[in-house]
Amino acid sequence: MKQYTDLFIDFDDTLYDTRGSAQRALKELYSVCHLDEHFTSPDVFFNEYWKTNVQLWGEYSKGLISRDYLIVERFKRPLSVGNFDHIDDEMCLSMSDKFLDLCTSFTIVVEGAHDLLDYLTDKGYRLHLCSNGFHEVQFKKLRNAHMEKYFDTVILSEDAGANKPSKQFFDFALLKSKACKANTLMIGDNFDTDMLGAMNAGIDTLLFNRWDQNFVPPKKVDFIVNALNEIKKIL
């Protein structure tokens, strides 16, 4: 088996339970913003938020929309299905700030994340976090989750000037981390952003298939696991 020296690791929903934290934050947000006065049920708001969020992050990862547009629209669209007299950008930005404060206050990590990071560190791998997340949000989540100490390098799309899966992101990651692509492995939960991006940059791939056990990758990845602790059998 190839001897890897450097590991590029996705953060959101690979190590940090971003979806779980966001679900908890949405429930708090619904309460503190008194959204029950505008929606027939919480699920109407939650379902519209998730549908919108998935669509916007997909567009953002392809460079089709800006960060500022995403921040406003991910609340403007869900709020638009509620009973409001008026919805403006300032209202959406205020709600986004409350939401992000709530999200980053939680320290919900994916099962086995700390144990895996301890294991990989003890094995001598150089670990590099690779994320499309926003700068101030990701560092706050890293600190709250007590994961900063594990990473030699933190590579964010805002610094790279491009999002995963762009080859530009991975070229920047290789440059910043001083890693050799032949000895680097990308680990992540998203096939479209993590796996395809790494493939296009000539980097080996390990898919953490946590969402659908029956998922068959459209293109062959080098390794696939259904739980983080299974990575120990590979590295």
Residues 144, 226: one domain?
yes
pLDDT in tens, 127-181: 999 999 888 888 988 998 999 999 999 999 999 999 999 999 999 999 999 999 9
Q: Domain ends where: 50, 79, 105?
A: 105
Residue-wise pLDDT for 104-128, tens only, equals: 887 789 999 999 999 999 999 999 9
Contacts of 150-153 with C-beta under 8 Å, sequence gap 24+, read 150/117, 150/120, 150/121, 151/127, 152/126, 152/127, 152/128, 152/177, 153/126, 153/128, 153/129, 153/177
Cis omega before residue 165 (within 30°)?
Answer: yes
DSSP 133-156: S-HHHHHHHHHHTT-GGG-SEEEE
Span 47-54, average pLDDT = 92
What domain range is 11 assigned to?
6-17+109-233
Per-residue pLDDT, 214: 82
Assigned domain for 35 exists = yes
How many whole angstroms separate alpha carbon 60 and alpha carbon 185? 24
Instruction: Tell me how far the alpha carbon of residue 114 is from its chain's centroid.
Output: 17
Query: What is residue 218's predicted lDDT score, i.e. its pLDDT?
Result: 87
Q: Which amino acid is at 121?
A: T
Domain-embedded: residue 1 = no
Structure tokens at 196: 């395809």
If asked whether residues 62 and 150 sit together in one domain, one would say no
From 105, 128, 155, the end of a domain falls on 105
Q: 136 and 81 share a domain?
A: no
Domain total of the chain: 2
DSSP string, 21-38: HHHHHHHHHHHHTTGGGT
Of residues 67 and 11, more confidence is placed in 11
Same domain, 119 and 101: no
Q: What is the pLDDT of residues 185-229, one digit of tens each?
A: 999 999 999 999 999 999 999 999 988 888 888 899 999 999 999
Q: Is the residue at 168 inside a domain?
A: yes
CATH code, domain with 62: 1.10.150.240
Degrees to nearest 5, angle at CA 43 with 37 and 45: 60
Q: Per-residue pLDDT for 58 more than 90?
A: no
Q: Which of 51, 79, 105 is the last residue of a domain?
A: 105
Question: Do residues 64 and 160 share a domain?
Answer: no
Question: 216: domain CATH number?
Answer: 3.40.50.1000
Residues 115 and 223 in one domain: yes
